[in-house]
A and B are shown apart, each in its own frame.
Chain A
Amino acid sequence: MKYIRIGGAMTATFALSLVTAPAVLAQTEAQKALAGAEIRFLQPSMPQFAALGKFIPEFEEKYGIKVIVDEVPFDQYRQKSLVEMQQGTGTYDFYAVDVMWLAEYAAAGFLDPLMPYVKNPDLTEEGYDIDDFLPRVISGTGVYNDTLYTIPLGAGPVGTTFRADVAEQAGFKLPERFSPEFNTQYMFDAAKKVNNPESGMIGFANIPGRWFWGVTYLPYLYAFQTPETVGNEYLDKDWKVTINNQNTIDSIDYFVSLKEFMPADSANWGIGEATAVYQQGGAFGVWNYQDFIKGFFEDPATQAAVAGKNVHLHTPSGPHGVIDPWFGAWSFGMSKDSKNKAATWTFIQWITSKEIQERATEFGAGPSRHSTYKSETLAKFQPWWLPVYDFMLKDTNPDERVRIPEWAEISDIMGEEGNRVWIGEIDSATAAANMETRMTAAMKKGGYYIPGRTDLPPQNWRDLTYYDRLPSQWK
């Protein structure tokens, strides 16, 4: 009787799993013919890629296509990828593409548009369902000039992580994510309350290194905007650089005020240094990126000092209640020079399928599909994603870091001038003025001020409905 009950339960579970499990992709005939092909991928070393890497042997076994992965540190990635792309040798069949560099890659013609592959039933398996991707995520990561160039592998907002246990010991409780209570003043005061370097606890592990401002300072640049200046942080409608203003100065001053909690030798701290201090239990708070949370803060196997003790918040809102709406994301883009495009697409559509996206969340990859957000796997292994679903659907602005090929230079200029304020070489007003002068030169070099030029890209960040198109509607 006992065995019958167990058997019945197993049958019921199996039947249920058939109904609820994501659609398992079936190979097409064209894909079967690709067995024996070899494709090369260039990626940065990051937790989400490590999570997806676990699935490559499964892909190779299923399709007979060999995937060779080359990995370089994040800070060398753009340089390496652009050198490879502009050589046009097709060394790499596909690349990891950061949302902030898409414009540069796509405008140069280094990537192949992907919609023809998505709509090719010989290469895209039934059940792939491109419309299952969150509209702003797929358009934000992969669309340039109305054309789909990449498929995302997870996309999330930037945020902050704090030690809930430390706050409790200090007699306060940290607010929930998106709580209006969590603003720049709150964050500063909370950090000050617990800051005690003598006992090995700094208030906030900020990231002031010159090469990171384009990521870590921006949440504050946005936070210090007023509702009227949102969208004009860098450029006005005529592409004139606008960064030299009081909001920028105030945001730099705030960012640099966090220096109060940091050791004297922290001016070059990057994500690695700040995260390491937090992981070792030496900081109350740190910047985060949603895709890093599992690997960097919540993995009990590797982060024993802090795992399970954290609260993951958004970046703080500013004095006028504005919060940073942008998200960061990586995606897969196919090289225009790939000699194995069918095999490459077979991999991209497989690794970004509903099934693999959901299973990868167990290992730290983030969601970019509706189905992944709603899956039990995500809820079980990375519950901190659930509060950002609505934000990613309705509030996020994928283009806050203006989608133009000049972004890398703009970001570098901000970092250099900002870091000079951090080390006390110049003040924030001088930095803002220098930023404006140098960014204007970069825009001029990019041809934005050629009189009569009519082919300048649209400033889509001013009209968010642009990003709400169903993914299948892109070219």
Chain B
Amino acid sequence: MIHAEPSQRLPVHPRSRGMLARFGPSNRKVFPWVLMAPTLIILFGIGIYPFLYSLYIAGHNVILSKPYLPRIFVGLYQYHALIQDPEFWHALRTTLWFTVQAVFIEFWLGLGLALLFQRSLRGASVMRVFILIPMILPPLVAALIWRYMFYPGAGLVTYYAGGITRALGWGEIPFLSDPTIAFQTLIFVDVWEWTPFMFLMLSAGLASIPRQPYEAAEIDGASSWRVFWTITMPLLRPAILIAVVIRTMDAFRTYELIVIMTRGGPGNATTTLNVFLTKTGLEFFDASKAAALSLIMMMIIIVMSFVFIRVFRSRTEAAE
């Protein structure tokens, strides 16, 4: 390798030398910011600016399909209007109920499967792949598949289930037409699609638990039930926390499944906050109300995640 002698180096312009001194590696205060600048600019562009713009829109009166209405500052009116709107409260209740039910069932099913597959089963690796298929499917495709499975009179499920119930003299099961059954049908499909995620996360968590506590428990003659509650669950807590937080945030924002299968109906039985948001923003083009609603949704998700993390962390600390 040939190194140039200092005297042979190209002359550096005094201005460039000044820039280097100000922003280069020698300036330990500024240089890290220089390195991070591209990332920060992108983050600002795609994260912070839209957030600030949402705040701006939510503070005004903007209806995109009515550009002739004056854009006036309305302060907190949009939030106030939402809180007064029974549709909002209905959608919030529906969303929370959907999230709680779906995540609860997915968690216990996923955990059960993970525990089952912890044992050495024949063909486990092939079965694992099959179990993961629903999660791999794009949510839109999964929703469409089930939409047609439950299609009134002609879907695979409605056809066979209808055949059985008719034979029993009960008539058709209104899978997507009865408010309660339609809601449960959506939960069923969500569970079908996302239990594999819980399974995957909890399997990884189980694999990371050391063997020694189990061996000690075995020597002490602890029952498997006691082992599960006193060793497995506490040591699995970090994995449970991540899996539950991710799934809760995801279930809270479920959109494709509901829009494809019921579009929020029948009536407004399956109208969640996301469906309500889309209707407000993209059917009535009320950008201000939609922005306020999306900010409220964001706050709810942040608070829920915070609560989860606090609860799990305090319990983990107590266990330690």
A, B co-complexed: yes
Interface residues of A (CB under 8 A from B): 78-79, 82-83, 86, 104, 107-109, 209-211, 263-269, 273, 277, 405, 408-409, 412, 416, 419-420, 422-423, 425, 445-447
Name B287's closest neighbour in chain A (CB-CB): A86
Alpha-carbon distance A445/B264, docked complex (angstroms):
24
Q: Is the CB of B152 within 8 A of A108?
A: no
26 A-B pairs (CB sep. < 8 Å)? A79-B283, A82-B65, A86-B65, A86-B67, A107-B68, A108-B65, A108-B68, A209-B265, A210-B263, A210-B264, A210-B266, A210-B267, A211-B263, A263-B172, A265-B173, A265-B174, A265-B177, A265-B178, A267-B177, A267-B178, A267-B265, A268-B265, A273-B152, A422-B266, A423-B266, A425-B267
Neighbouring B residues of A104 by C-beta, 8 Å: 65
Chain B 287-318 against A: per-residue CB contact (8 Å), 1 yes, 0 no?
00000000000000000000000000000000
Q: Is the CB of B267 within 8 A of A420?
A: yes
Neighbouring A residues of B139 by C-beta, 8 Å: none
B184 CB within 8 Å of chain A: no
| Chain B CB within 10 A, most for which of A104, A265, A405 | A265
B2 CB within 8 Å of chain A: no
Q: Is the CB of B67 within 8 A of A109?
A: yes
Neighbouring A residues of B171 by C-beta, 8 Å: 264
Given contacts A263-B153, A423-B267, contact A405 B178 (CB under 8 A): no
Chain B 153-186 against A: per-residue CB contact (8 Å), 1 yes, 0 no?
1000010000000000001111111110000000
Neighbouring B residues of A419 by C-beta, 8 Å: 265-267
| Chain A CB within 10 A, most for which of B153, B179, B265, B267 | B267
- Which residue of B173, B267, B282 is within 8 Å of A416 (Cβ)? B267
Neighbouring B residues of A109 by C-beta, 8 Å: 67-68
Q: Is the CB of A423 within 8 A of B178?
A: yes
Alpha-carbon distance A83/B278, docked complex (angstroms):
13
Neighbouring B residues of A82 by C-beta, 8 Å: 64-65, 285
| Chain B CB within 10 A, most for which of A79, A83, A108, A264 | A264
B57 CB within 8 Å of chain A: no
Neighbouring B residues of A263 by C-beta, 8 Å: 152-153, 172
B319 CB within 8 Å of chain A: no
Known A108-B65, A267-B177, A416-B268; 18 more pairs at CB < 8 Å: A78-B283, A86-B65, A107-B66, A108-B66, A108-B67, A210-B263, A264-B171, A264-B174, A264-B178, A265-B172, A266-B177, A268-B177, A409-B284, A423-B177, A423-B178, A423-B269, A425-B179, A446-B66
Alpha-carbon distance A108/B172, docked complex (angstroms):
47
Q: Is the CB of A267 within 8 A of B283?
A: no
Nearest CB of B to A185, in Å: 27
Name B151's closest neighbour in chain A (CB-CB): A273
Nearest CB of A to B107, in Å: 30
| Chain A CB within 10 A, most for which of B68, B153, B263, B265 | B265
Alpha-carbon distance A420/B63, docked complex (angstroms):
28
Residue pairs across A and B with CB atoms within 8 Å: the count is 96
Alpha-carbon distance A400/B55, docked complex (angstroms):
39
Name A208's closest neighbour in chain B (CB-CB): B266
Nearest CB of B to A95, in Å: 14
B279 CB within 8 Å of chain A: yes
Nearest CB of B to A73, in Å: 12
Alpha-carbon distance A194/B282, docked complex (angstroms):
43
Name B70's closest neighbour in chain A (CB-CB): A447
Alpha-carbon distance A211/B275, docked complex (angstroms):
14
Alpha-carbon distance A245/B152, docked complex (angstroms):
34
Alpha-carbon distance A362/B34, docked complex (angstroms):
70
Q: Which of B255-270 contact A (CB under 8 A)?
A: 262-269
B4 CB within 8 Å of chain A: no
Q: Is the CB of A267 within 8 A of B266?
A: yes
Q: Is the CB of A265 within 8 A of B153?
A: yes
B36 CB within 8 Å of chain A: no
Q: Is the CB of A447 within 8 A of B178?
A: no
Name B176's closest neighbour in chain A (CB-CB): A268
Given contacts A210-B263, A210-B265, A420-B268, contact A265 B152 (CB under 8 A): yes
Q: Is the CB of A79 within 8 A of B282?
A: yes
Chain B 53-65 against A: per-residue CB contact (8 Å), 1 yes, 0 no?
0000000000111
Neighbouring B residues of A412 by C-beta, 8 Å: 279, 283-284
- Which residue of A86, A107, A211, A266 is within 8 Å of B64 (Cβ)? A86
Nearest CB of B to A411, in Å: 10
Given contacts A108-B65, A405-B65, contact A264 B177 (CB under 8 A): yes
B69 CB within 8 Å of chain A: yes
Neighbouring A residues of B153 by C-beta, 8 Å: 263, 265, 277
Alpha-carbon distance A319/B267, docked complex (angstroms):
28
Neighbouring A residues of B68 by C-beta, 8 Å: 107-109
Name A85's closest neighbour in chain B (CB-CB): B65
Neighbouring A residues of B67 by C-beta, 8 Å: 86, 108-109
Neighbouring B residues of A405 by C-beta, 8 Å: 65-66
Name B84's closest neighbour in chain A (CB-CB): A441
Neighbouring B residues of A268 by C-beta, 8 Å: 152, 176-177, 262-263, 265-266
Neighbouring A residues of B69 by C-beta, 8 Å: 446-447
Alpha-carbon distance A264/B158, docked complex (angstroms):
11
Alpha-carbon distance A78/B285, docked complex (angstroms):
11
Name A419's closest neighbour in chain B (CB-CB): B267
Alpha-carbon distance A409/B285, docked complex (angstroms):
10
Nearest CB of B to A97, in Å: 14
Alpha-carbon distance A446/B285, docked complex (angstroms):
12
Nearest CB of A to B292, in Å: 14
Given contacts A209-B265, A412-B283, contact A265 B65 (CB under 8 A): no
- Which residue of B268, B285, B286 is within 8 Å of A86 (Cβ)? B285
Neighbouring A residues of B264 by C-beta, 8 Å: 210
Neighbouring B residues of A416 by C-beta, 8 Å: 267-268
